[in-house]
Amino acid sequence: MTKITILDGGLSRELTKFGAELKQPEWSAGALLDNPDTVTQAHTAFFEAGCEIATTNSYALVPFHLGQECFENKGFELAELSGKLARKAALQSQTSSSPLQVAGSLPPACGSYVPEKFDALAAKEILATLVDALEPHCDLWLAETMSSLEEARVTTQAAQASSKPFWLSYSLHDDDPSQSPKLRSGESLKDAIELAVDLKVDAILFNCSMPEVMEQAVLETKEQLSLLGYDIPIGVYANGFVARGNDGAANEVVSAIRDDLTPRKHLEYVERWINAGATIIGGCCGVGSEHMQVISQFVEHER
């Protein structure tokens, strides 16, 4: 089997296993404010499950979730804390010669799944705060849940001064898995891949969409990258949400989790993604350490 890199799973629901409360609008940022030990515990659980990369708990550290005043007063401090906690868990969990890594999460600065509300000028200021705070603590950047080309471009450019690898992850429209893959903005996957190549990213991923839409996205991405003569890893970390389409922003409701996406069922999708050409595998919202342990055992068995 080609070398598979195992990213962590969905941090938000994992936090609740250790006593954190998920409520809107703060979402996972609430753990940093009220119970930061749960963040270290959640990262550690993923490492113990066989994951190789911890993603910082900075996804909700934006005004969209915190509010403008809280972000201005505490945004840098909380982002810095998220980086330190992820690094602490990585160092404490290190047992082999291959170092465990930390990915600095760069979220949708103006809200998830709402590309029409993206404000490039505001996003640049928000992302500058996160990049400055996370830079000393992460090994690579992970731009997550990018729902439009403009959002992807601005987020990637926010970290351009850094020499660290940059992974760009798109979120796909998933209310009809039979459709050809496209971004939540409606923009084509072809254009999204061409942009990633123009930006010279180090990996292209797909996240925070249903597992049913991921295989075709991987196949089309692999084909498009080949046509462009650009060889970089492709990754997938799907969520466990009931399909939501584009019917609301991420801080409006606590989304329901599917009850059919057991660790074994999730692994069936993972095998298809790997067969299609994905070499980075993780989990998004609702995909916990129990799912990632099954994946890591499968990968280890196939090596």
Q: Give the pLDDT score at 98.
A: 77
Q: Give the residue, 303 or 200, on which the prediction is more confident.
A: 200
Mean pLDDT of the chain: 94
Cβ(85)–Cβ(57) below 8 Å: yes
How far, in Å, are 129, 219, 244, 252 from residue 26 at the CA level?
18, 36, 20, 10
CB atoms within 10 A of CB 200: 11
The two tokens of residue 185 are 């903005």
Tokens of 253: 């409701």
Write down the pLDDT at residue 257.
83
Rounded to an integer, the average pLDDT of 74-79 is 98
Are 147 and 173 spatial neighbours (Cβ–Cβ below 8 Å)? no
Question: Is residue 252 pLDDT above 80, yes or no?
Answer: no
Single pTM value for the model: 0.95
Task: Determine the pLDDT at residue 251.
Answer: 53
- The pLDDT value recorded for residue 177 is 86
DSSP assignment of 74-97 equals HHHHHHHHHHHHHHHHHHHH--SS
Q: 261 exposed, middle or buried (CB, 10 Å; 0-12, 13-18, 19+)?
A: buried
Closest CA to 273 of 200, 222, 208, 202: 222
Architecture of domain 5-302: Alpha-Beta Barrel (3.20)
Q: What is the predicted pLDDT for the residue at 13? A: 94
Q: Of 238 and 96, which is predicted with more confidence? A: 238
